[in-house]
Structures are given as structure tokens and as C-alpha cells.
A and B are shown apart, each in its own frame.
Chain A
Amino acid sequence: MSAPSLRIPLRPLARILDARQRGENPDAIEKENLRLRHEEMRDRARIRAEGRIVLLGAMFALAFATIGLKMWVVAESEPAEPRTSIAGSSIVAQRGDILDRHGRVLATNLDTFALYAHPHQMVEPERAAQELASIFPDLDQDRLTRDFTGKRRFVWIRRKISPEQRQAVHDIGEPGLLFGPREMRLYPNGALAAHILGGASYGEEGVHAAEIKGTAGVEREFNDFLTDPANGGKPLQLSIDLTVQAAAEQMLYGGMRLMNAKGAASVLMDAKTGEIISMVSLPDFDPNDRPGLPTEGHPDDSPLFNRAVQGVYELGSTFKIFAAAQAIDLGLVKPETIVDIKGPIRWGRHSIRDFHNYGKELSVADIIIKSSNIGSARLAEMIGNDLQKQFLGQLGLFEPTPVEMVEAPSGQPLVQKNWTDLTAMTVSYGHGISVSPLHLAAAYATIANDGKRVRPTLLVQDGPQDGPQVLSYSAALQAQDLLRLVVSEGTASFARIDHYSVGGKTGTADKPKPTGGYYKDKTISTFASMFPAHDPQYVLIVTLDEGVETSGSEPRRTAGWTAVPVAAEMITRIAPLLGLRPEIAPATLADITLTSQ
């Protein structure tokens, strides 16, 4: 090995000659030398191969080490966004804003901080607890002291704190008190449109961020839309008008107090587009501080309960116009057709009576104007069960409203399973069927929209809805005229207001007892109206729960005395906000011209 380049000859002459002299076979020498040479070659080759294997092994080890190191780095390091990406800039907020129809903010986000503690990092836990209790009076100092001095390594103290509180906590100077950034949902208008918006709360919570989840209303219905990063924080625009909503809430609240009602609801809807301009349910709540679910009392009396969407009530005589409109549509009667109203109608144990005795016969118009139960029942008899049921179904009175709220499916109308002749008669004047005020608004909007079906919506629309014609154009117009007559001559005379002509129908229904039967002194009074009467643009439903008017010698509970004045005040206040030009119905104008001549 010392001199590999020095090649040893296979047959060295000296050794061959020597061997020959001794008479040995010289080939043995050659074989021996060949063997040695082969051994030497083999050793060289092995060393080379071994060297290659070691090198290869080292390469592999290095490669695996690199991969392993990288995996360790990925697993152990804090995640960070790539520094040069611009994708992050499109995500403006964690959750999109909610705007009203004119772009005013109904719900937005605010950056704030959450306060938490690492007790093991604390210097003076007792003093920190004492100081915190003085900053946040609702915190229990003993409990905080226990938490800070015990074994816990992490304590949430407050979910949201104001900048002033944050500064005060900073001033404690305790290194174990830490802040985590938070976004909070803010409803700047307070209780305004509380039932529509619903509310939001925190879902998954971490130190650096927390997920905001909608808990009710449109916040929950559109949770995915509002949090979808693909939308880039695009706001959700509702059909609600902030100003109108505020005015409606103020007027309805005043009316509710004046009429001693325990609850009230109103729905204002654009008759052409089905947009809900305002929807109020009283009592209401502040979505910034949404109260918990009620633990006592009837759930329907909770402020969280949305009477306009979830509350299904027997809405009484407001249904009569549907019977009349359908009878006119089918060509069975005309508004001036005389109908026999001799009563009471007896049906088994039940009898159908009128509020007053209206004599033996009335025209169809008078049945609506005077609100005769017997007359409506007779109209329902003429129409027949199947057609009546079909028509009410087309108006959407048998299924929950399609409005974009998570509560909408709970407003399932209550309808009797067996649609007997008696059912048909009672439903014709609004008993034996319970629907929400929003259902009624949609059905009245269908009449106001010249017979084309209207579906209520909370989203701002581009144009009128082109629903199917469920009522002929002429029948719808005649129904509108009848509703105008109710106001000008009939039970809703308080809605005869200056500046605007209103058409509508009153409805007063006794409240059903939970045990069966009806209360004598508790009513749901409703006024379903449309204005301006000769070309209806808007539909307003006002419902008072247990309203009673006590200015007279005896308490008056009919809608004409309770719901109608409230609705009239609301229309006077709201119509100018909607930009409706005040005017007097064309017919009345003609009268003025006549007298002045």
C-alpha cells in the first residue's frame, strides 16, 4: 500500500529462475502474486465504497436533520403573517356593520380591551385585588384575592373595559394584569330597533382575539354574511329607516302608556316592495346589554319577545276585508249587494253575534264599515271552505313569514287542523286563526299593491316585487275603497286625520285564556291601515296588548278607541318623514269646490 503506483510484476524473473532451479512450478509464483494483487484491489475498492456509503449516509442525515429542524421551527415558532403580503389590508373589521336604508349606522364594531391576569407573575396580588375592586365595583374582592393567591395561572377579569378603566388598571402597576385586544359590537342607537338587530356575544375566546357571534335577529340570521372574509367587511343594509323607526317607537310607546296597554307592536311596510321601514315591539331592550332569557313569568311578556314577528294573535275583524275582497273577486257580490245578517247564527254550542245589532240586512260595504261578524260569516259561506282556505294560503297566512330574522320560523300561525264550516265562518272575522302583525301587514300590503302578493323583507330592495296576482286588480281597488270607507264612515273614525287620507280596518279580539275560553276584559286591539288611501304606498299595522281607554264613563277596549288613535298619531308623525306630500283625498277636494261655488 505504501507505493501502490509501484506495480509488482506477476512473474519476477529472479524468483522464477530460482524456482526453476529448485524444480518448483513457477506458475505457483504467478498465482501467488495474482492473489496478492487481487486482494490489494479488493481492499482499495472496499475503502472507496465504504467512503461513499459514509458520505451518502452523512448526506441523508443532513437532509433529515434539515427537515427535522424546519419542522421543529414551524411547530415551535409563533405564527406571523408574511411581511410583504397585501392581502391583510382588505380585512377591515372582523364583522361587517349594519346600516339602515340611508346608510346610517345601526351596528358597528369598536376596538376595546379585555382584562386578564397571570397570578404567577403578580407582585402584590392582594393589593391588585383591592385596587381592581375599587375600579370595578361589581367585582368581588375576596374572590379576586382567592383567584390571585391560589394555584390558578390564568384568570379572566373583564371581557370589555373602557379606555378610562384601562388607564386606571395601568396605574395599579401590577405586571400580572394583562390586556388582550378585543372588538366589541356596538349599537350606537341603544334600544332602537332592538328586536330587529337582536344582539351579539362572544363565541370562541382567546387572549389575542375573540369571535363575535350574533345571538338573535338579523345579527344571527346574517352571521355568516357579516363574518365572511370574502365580503371584506361589506356592510349589511337593512330596509329600516332610522328616523322613522325612532319616531314610530316614540309614538307607539306614548300610545301604549296612554292606552294602559302592557305591550304593543307596529309594522310599517312599503306596500310595493315589501320592505319593512319600521318594526317595533314594546317593551324592548338594549342590545348592547341584552338581558338573559326570562326565568319567570310568561315568555311572551319578556322584553326579548318580538310581538311583531313571533307573537301570533287572533287579530279579529281585520280579517273581514279578506272575505269581502275575495267575494268581490269571485264575482259573488258587489260592495252594494245586500246580505242577510239576521242573527245570531247558531252552530252547535257556538253562536255568532255582532257587537251591536245592525238590523236584518246590510250591504257588503256596510258589513265592513260597521264590522258585522254575521255578515262576514255569510260571505264566507258564499265563498266556500276550500276557496277561502286557498286564498288565505296565497296571502301567506298559514306559514311563517319569510322575513330575514332568525325568529321568523317561531311566528308560525295557529290554524285549526279541521277546516270546518264553522272554522270558515269564524276565520272570516279573524277568530280561530292566530297570525303575527307582520303576517297581517304582508296580507294588507297585497291588497294595497293592487292584488299582487307582497313578501315582507328586511333588506333594502331595488324595485317593486312582482309577486303573483292573488286578487284581481279591480277587486283590490274596491277593497281599498271599502277600507277608506271604514275610516271615513265606520269604526275607525279616529283615523280621519288632517293632511292624509287613511284607509284601514279595526280588529278587537278577546284574549284567549291559557286554560281555555276567553277573557272578558282583556283584548288585543289592532288597526290595519294603508295610506294614502287612494293610492296606497305604505301599510301600517298597530297592535295593542290589553289596551283600554279610560276617559269615558266605562272602560273602552275596542280598537276604534285604542289602536286607531295611536295609529292616527303615528301616521301624522311618520308620513312627513317618509316624504309623503300632505293632501286631501280627491273626493273631499271636489266637495270643497262645490260648497265654495
Chain B
Amino acid sequence: MRTLLYILSFAALVGLGFWAYQENYRTKQIVNEAERLQVQISQARARLGVLKAEWAYLNRPDRLRELAELNFTPLALMPISPDQFGRMDQVDYPSSDPVPAPLVEINNPVEVSTMSMQEAGQ
């Protein structure tokens, strides 16, 4: 009886040791995974920040004004003036257009941030 108890408890010890070993390695793996994701998130954030800054920089009023002046011939863009306000009844609504104009599909977006290039290079 006592021998059986010893054998059983020793088997339980071995079993628990094996389980703890496995759990330990699984935890480590998950921590690594989480860390990798954190790095990815922070990289994505940094890239988002760069893109936002770039967007703001490209849309700065000075530049837009210059572009509007440079492209005056094709676009004829003028600053908004009071004459451009109208009343609702002046709006000429289209009667009914059976064939809607096809939307331009954008399927080759251009990545502009250096980080996306880095990622592609990796």
C-alpha cells in the first residue's frame, strides 16, 4: 500500500514537472509574440504619425495656394467669394440619370512613407 502511494506521488511529480515545463515555454512564446506585436504597433503608430505630418505638410495653405496659381490654366481655381453662395431654388438638380458614371477605382495605391519601404525591404 505504501509502495503504491510512493509510486503514484512520484508519477504525479513527474507529470506536474512536465506540465510546468510546457506551460513555461508556451508563456515565453506568447510573451515573445506580444512583444513582436507591440513593436509592430509602435512602428505602425510612428508611420501613421509620419503620414499625418506629411499630409498636413502637403496640404499646407501656402502650398495649395501656389499649386492653384501654377495650375490656373487648367483648373481656374479662385478663392471662395460671396458670389458663389446661392439659394436652394437656384440649384439645377439632374432630372434622372439612369446610368451612373462609373467610379474611378484605385487599385494601385502609392506608398510614400520611408517606413513602408523599409518594411518591404525586410
Q: Which residues of A contact B (CB under 8 A)?
A: 83-84, 88-89, 92-93, 104-105, 108-111, 163, 186, 188-190, 192, 242-243, 246-247, 250, 498-500, 572-573, 575-577, 581-582
Contact = CB atoms under 8 A, between A and B. Distances in A.
Interface in B22-78: 31, 34-35, 38, 41-42, 45-46, 49-50, 52-53, 55-57, 59-62, 65
Nearest to B27: A84
B114 interface: yes
24 contacts: A89-B41, A108-B56, A109-B49, A109-B53, A110-B49, A110-B53, A111-B46, A186-B53, A188-B56, A188-B57, A188-B60, A189-B60, A190-B62, A242-B61, A243-B61, A247-B61, A247-B79, A250-B65, A498-B82, A500-B82, A572-B82, A573-B79, A573-B81, A576-B85
Is chain A's binding surface mostly helix, strand, loop or mixed? mixed
Nearest to B37: A89
Given A104-B56, A576-B80, A582-B83, 12 more contacts: A84-B31, A92-B45, A108-B49, A108-B53, A186-B53, A192-B62, A243-B61, A247-B61, A573-B79, A576-B81, A576-B84, A581-B85
Contacts of A186: 53, 57
A110 B56 CA distance: 12
Interface residues of B, number: 28
Contacts of A111: 46, 49-50
Nearest to B55: A105
Contacts of B56: 104-105, 108, 188-189
Contacts of B50: 110-111
Contacts of A110: 49-50, 53
B38 A89 contact: yes
Contacts of B35: 83
Contacts of B57: 186, 188
Contacts of A190: 60, 62
A568 to B, nearest CB: 12
B60 to A, nearest CB: 5
Contacts of A573: 79, 81
Nearest to A245: B61
Q: Which of A93, A163, A189, A500 is the most central at the interface, judged by chain B CB atoms within 10 Å of its CB?
A: A189
Nearest to A167: B114
Nearest to A92: B45
